């Protein structure tokens, strides 16, 4: 652990032994689609780094995050993205949030989706919308 914050790869994800997600929380490293010369491997530390020294994971499917410069650009993690304003955008938002979210935030994602859907249509079948989003 670093700074009292849990590392991202703590839930059995099949990440590489040298992945920065073993030591850093989500958002403190970038994720690329694949290895690149722009982010060379440093044998001293066992990590890949950007030119600015930001640790990089090169397997988004293994770490469970879409490729993005999270640490470099200070981007929010997918499940930290605010819910959409339009109810018809909720299913896609729920799906993308739950695909990447760690277990401890899934309840909050579903709560936010439920609140948004009920605010737009109090008679909406929440279960049906969530099933469609996750089906």
Helices 126-134 and 90-100, interaxial angle, to 10°?
Answer: 60
- Each residue of 105-119: pLDDT tens digit? 889 888 888 888 888
How many other CB atoms sit within 10 Å of the CB of residue 80?
13
Model-wide pTM > 0.95:
no
- Each residue of 3-52: pLDDT tens digit? 446 788 766 778 888 899 988 998 999 999 999 999 999 999 888 999 99
Exposure string of 27-62, with b = 16+ CB inside 10 Å and e = fewer, is bbbbbbeeeeeebeeeeeeebbbbeeebbbbbbbeb
| Mode of pairing for the β-strands spanning 47-49 and 41-42 | antiparallel
């Amino acid at each position: 652990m670093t700074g009292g914050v849990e590392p991202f790869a703590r839930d059995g994800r099949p990440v590489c032994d040298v992945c920065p997600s073993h030591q850093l929380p989500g958002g403190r490293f970038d994720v690329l689609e694949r290895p690149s010369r722009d982010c060379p491997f440093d044998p001293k530390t066992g990590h890949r780094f950007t030119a600015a020294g930001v640790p990089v994971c090169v397997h988004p499917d293994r770490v469970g995050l879409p490729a993005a410069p999270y640490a470099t650009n200070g981007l929010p993690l997918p499940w930290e993205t605010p819910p959409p304003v339009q109810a018809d955008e909720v299913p896609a938002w729920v799906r993308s949030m739950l695909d990447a979210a760690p277990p401890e935030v899934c309840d909050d994602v579903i709560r936010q989706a439920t609140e948004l859907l009920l605010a737009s249509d109090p008679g909406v079948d929440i279960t049906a919308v969530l099933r469609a989003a996750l089906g």
